Amino acid sequence: MSVELFSAASDTSTPTGGLVLLGMLGLLATLGGGAAAFNIRGTADALTRMRQAQLEHKARAAMSLTMVEQHQQPSWWFRMLGALVLSAGVLLLLLDAVILAVEHG
């Protein structure tokens, strides 16, 4: 009896797990990208400080002080990347909604 229930459940063609994963990735990308793009709670500034600390650590390991000055990235760079991730997240959510609408039409 349990075999029949399992085989009946596997006959459905709706990729529920994939749609949930796509929706979650879209939501996380939208939230994370929006936080960086709009500098919510200083996200872009914190990313700039973390990048600067990473470069300083690499420069100390390589014993080169010029490495830090050559590779500095301003806060607007992380805001631009955040806007790109935000846009991709919104597109993923829209794609997920379209697939759901077509499947369950």
pLDDT recorded at residue 81: 95
Band of pLDDT at residue 90, cut at 50, 70 and 90: very high
Listed residue (43, 18, 34, 27) closest to 86, CA to CA: 34
pLDDT at residue 9 is higher than 70: no
Q: For the segment 40-56, what is each residue's pLDDT rounded down to a tens digit?
A: 999 999 999 998 888 88
- With a CB cutoff of 8 Å and minimum separation 6, the contacts of 48 are 73, 74, 75, 78
Q: For the segment 29-86, what is each residue's pLDDT rounded down to a tens digit?
A: 999 999 999 999 999 999 999 988 888 888 888 887 776 666 778 889 999 999 999 9
